[in-house]
Amino acid sequence: MIAIINYNAGNITSVARALQNIGKKCIITDDTEKLDAASHVIFPGVGAAGEAMAYLQEKKLDAWLKKYVKAGKPLLGICLGTQIILNYSEENKTECIGLVAGATKRFPEKLISEGQLLKIPHMGWNSIKLYRSHPVFHNVSPDAEFYFVHSYHPAPSDDEAVLGTTDYGMTFCSVLAKDNLVAMQFHPEKSGRPGLQILKNFCAWRGGNV
């Protein structure tokens, strides 16, 4: 069973619809007993880091996530669910979960590309550069583009945790991978066929950076 963590963040139901699109049944829940029964867990969402962490702590989901990852089960982070798996977020100056060492940082105010000032938030379609193969990106074209909408980006301390990067006036980490955890700043559920392929691959993945 695929479980989607409900932690009062936005955009969670769109992930459920995408899973239904690829024929995968799922539940949306903040009940740790139901989450324990899942074979795969997705941690998506949009919103503010401070509010999200407050809800996770209230429901003890932050501690549950640490236990789940330690058990070796596959976890997929998306957008806000990627940012708050790090130690700290500059958004709301928030102490976060710490599944991956590092911080989530705000884009600089003046991002320039080809002489043009770029808008923040970064919103739209961009490609990613993968630094190694990973089962979750199997059969995804290197030329594929994915949908982003964010003002903050993950900055892991360990380069080994960086699976992919994206350029938007600067090069930033857009995909993290560590053992049975993979997380992405973009929204696979809003990224057409390549995004659905990622979700399909995740649902078949048993964990591990192969």
Catalytic residues: 79, 187, 189
150 vs 137: CA distance, rounded Å: 22
Beta bridge partners of 94: 89
Contacting residues for 178 by C-beta, under 8 A, at least 6 apart: 99, 100, 160, 161, 209
Tokens 């993950």 map to which residue?
154
The 3-state secondary structure of 131-164, one letter per residue: CCCCHHHCCCCCCCEEEEEECEEEEECCHHHEEE
Q: Can you state the angle between helices 12-21 and 192-204, rounded to 10 degrees?
A: 80
H/E element, 195:
helix 192-204
Question: 11 phi and psi, to 5 degrees?
Answer: 75, 10
H helix and E strand count, the chain:
6, 16
